[in-house]
Structure 1
């Protein structure tokens, strides 16, 4: 009887495409879905790959199709559904088998599941999969965390199905516990920031310069040939060039300006705050999506205060290109700084250079300068990207444009929360003496929190005057 190399549970869009990818790479995959009809439909529609796919609408029969040690990928909705599937699987698995959660899980859940299965003989991997529907089918970026020993069960399959960059697989084991899902979370945070900054530049073109979607599309297509070369810049050109068949208008002009979010961007901002790492571009992007959701309120706000200065901006396209590059660098710098701190806190020893390498193809934030990021971290450095020589050079050349664009947005009443945050971060990062000396004085005044003195060891307090009415002044 034929046995499958790996199993997959959950035949949604991502699950179906990942299963076909596995089969396309010469491995036999068994599939299961709680709706048995989906299994039958998947098998019927597998076409030339039918010989590499098996399936059952009965869970025990599905598990019985797998080679030992068994590897089972779960592709169901994050949260309780994952726990439910694990609970159903556990009695059917044996020592040496591994459960692989390939959904967008909160890494805290992954850590919990890893701990719950630790000592049972059943391994647990939390893997981040980036690339959307197309990536799942033809090669995503795969970030693996969990049991290194049982990662070996699925290593050959996952390495084969991942995207390739210059022949290298964009799949890597990154660390124990929730390391893989944490890295995927930060990937999505950077993605949020990158997308928001692109949208802000488009806003300057549309509202500040009065450019049409088609004219904007041509600019983004041209930028994709230079230092901004990336998947997101490329698709931006296509989105702006698309026409709506129903109305004959540019498609972007008939899309409601209210963005959705599934939680990963928000999680990345929360984790940055918990770790005490500044990730203001990610926070700005999350906030921008949140304010976009209150469209009715924004329309009332426009009625109260006016729509701003339309078509009055004076800024060059070259400045916009350089500003976007500078903002992008700041976002990546913050994202990698969050990962470096998390690695230290959790003892993951995250290979930052490898993370940059596996993001070079397959994933949503793939871009030209990930090669440069990888080289910056090659020697095991975890220093902020803003201190790395190649990025110092790029920021030195481009931060003036970012400053000019942010100023233009402010004067012309064009919202640019992410670009503004990127500039503020850069300016704060290079300010040797900041202003929190005053903050520390304030904290000592109202809460006796203490402060440090320049050139002296220890904590100090000052004898502040009492502001309580009737209290004796010192």
Structure 2
């Protein structure tokens, strides 16, 4: 007799930990892996949770073990494998059963799958899960997209296994079809920018101030007690304090300078461009990761062009305080851009994304969790129709208070040849945003000159053209 409340397909690191999390919260969970040996290993290693886990050797046995309407979580590699798994499941499932893709899917694939299943009697949920291995096991932030009815069927399990902040579940239904996976994508884009800016501050300390890793660890640890209190700043301190058993050096000093990426950061940058919403901090972070991977080219370029050696990074006074303020300002830019992209997508796809709730469910469990998010949630609650986060009273204040520090740090870094692409983008973003009359009037004139694209005048409406060819 079917007894499982939910099922999990895919017992890699994330799937296995998610299944253990579900069992840990008192729910019977059926599990299936393409390799049956892995299923047996997982069940045998579940310890005291083994009584809540139902291992199955075939998809037929797996489906039969779950109580209808059956929620089935797929936690496998994104892309074609998900489509293949859905195709294998479809003949075995019944009306109102729910297929849940909990991987890092492209939200456009999620929207397609949602539409393909809409008239089959089955339901599809795209579920963004953030928090990595530890989050999956002990409580991630969970972003759900699908029908509200399907959310109601699984909400007890999802809320139970999610991270908690002040006893509030860090999980929510965010809208139809691809809403959950889109929000997860932008979460990852913000994460890219946040990590890149932290790395740039680290680079200033290491290459411009001759600080050693243990000393930097102390600085980041102190910052984690202030406005930069966050998971990423916390782990940065721990990373910098960790030694390498093999060499006796700080571990960070023996790690290859080539950052990996799985696609969500790039998707964030692409979608921001598709919707004509600037997300320059995210774009800079994606570009920096791509350039970091070109280790051979960078070595050749240093040999050919030389590396700027323009002296010590000097800003006078308390350098650590200035760096802290600059990082805070950059963080504001990244979040403002990310939330602006989500607002545009919400309108384009009819999702009505709840910005205060998104900020709340990111307060625990996810990679970008921070004290900062309470302030963001409050800002969007007080001013729900605000066009940009930096236009709210609290965040406009932060921008004004950190402005001098940000531009001082960026200017000195540029003078000393220290790369700060994401922090530089934040300066440019703020400076462009707060200038009522910029320089695009010249671009419009150029476009009209070579392509007769037309322009509007400041003293009237309608399309105009310039006398560019007169006398030629």
Q: TM over 0.5, yes or no?
A: yes
Q: CA deviation at 1:382?
A: 4.2
Equivalence for 2:225: 225
Whether 2:459 is the aligned partner of 1:455: answer: yes
List alignment gaps of at least 5 residues for structure 2.
none
Equivalence for 2:114: 114
Whether 2:403 is the aligned partner of 1:399: answer: yes
List alignment gaps of at least 5 residues for structure 1.
467-472
Equivalence for 2:355: 352
Distance in 2 between residues matched to 1:159 and 1:387, nearest whole Å = 33
Runs of 4+ in structure 1 deviating by more than 6 angstroms, as ranges, are: none
Distance in 2 between residues matched to 1:156 and 1:311, nearest whole Å = 59
Q: Deviations over 1:38-79 (max 9, x none)?
A: 110111001010111101121100100000110000000000
Q: CA deviation at 1:2?
A: 5.6
Structure 1 residues 246 and 157: CA distance shift in structure 2, 3 A: same
Within 5 A, what are the aligned runs for 1:308-457? 308-309=308-309, 312-315=312-315, 316-379=319-382, 380-457=384-461
Distance in 2 between residues matched to 1:51 and 1:198, nearest whole Å = 44
- Checking the alignment, whether the CA contact within 8 Å between 1:172 and 1:354 is kept in structure 2 is yes
Q: Deviations over 1:184-212 (max 9, x none)?
A: 00000000000000000000000000000
Q: CA deviation at 1:428?
A: 0.4
Within 5 A, what are the aligned runs for 1:32-431? 32-309=32-309, 312-315=312-315, 316-379=319-382, 380-431=384-435
- Checking the alignment, whether the CA contact within 8 Å between 1:207 and 1:311 is kept in structure 2 is no
- Checking the alignment, whether the CA contact within 8 Å between 1:4 and 1:29 is kept in structure 2 is yes
Equivalence for 1:469: none
Distance in 1 between residues matched to 2:321 and 2:290, nearest whole Å = 30
- Checking the alignment, whether the CA contact within 8 Å between 2:2 and 2:67 is kept in structure 1 is no
Q: CA deviation at 1:307?
A: 2.4
TM-score (norm 1): 0.98
Q: CA RMSD in A?
A: 1.0
Distance in 1 between residues matched to 2:254 and 2:290, nearest whole Å = 20
Q: CA deviation at 1:465?
A: 1.8
Q: What SS class does the counterpart of residue 207 from structure 2 fall into?
A: helix
Q: What SS class does the counterpart of residue 383 from structure 1 fall into?
A: coil
- Checking the alignment, whether the CA contact within 8 Å between 1:209 and 1:311 is kept in structure 2 is no
Q: CA deviation at 1:312?
A: 1.1
Distance in 2 between residues matched to 1:221 and 1:82, nearest whole Å = 41
Distance in 1 between residues matched to 2:378 and 2:226, nearest whole Å = 20
Q: Deviations over 1:130-149 (max 9, x none)?
A: 00000000000000001221
Distance in 1 between residues matched to 2:387 and 2:356, nearest whole Å = 12
Q: CA deviation at 1:311?
A: 5.4
Aligned residues: 468
Q: What SS class does the counterpart of residue 34 from structure 1 fall into?
A: coil
Q: CA deviation at 1:463?
A: 2.1
TM-score (norm 2): 0.98
Distance in 1 between residues matched to 2:191 and 2:226, nearest whole Å = 19
Q: CA deviation at 1:120?
A: 1.1
Q: Deviations over 1:440-470 (max 9, x none)?
A: 000000001000011311111112127xxxx
Q: Deviations over 1:96-140 (max 9, x none)?
A: 110000000000100000000011110000010000000000000
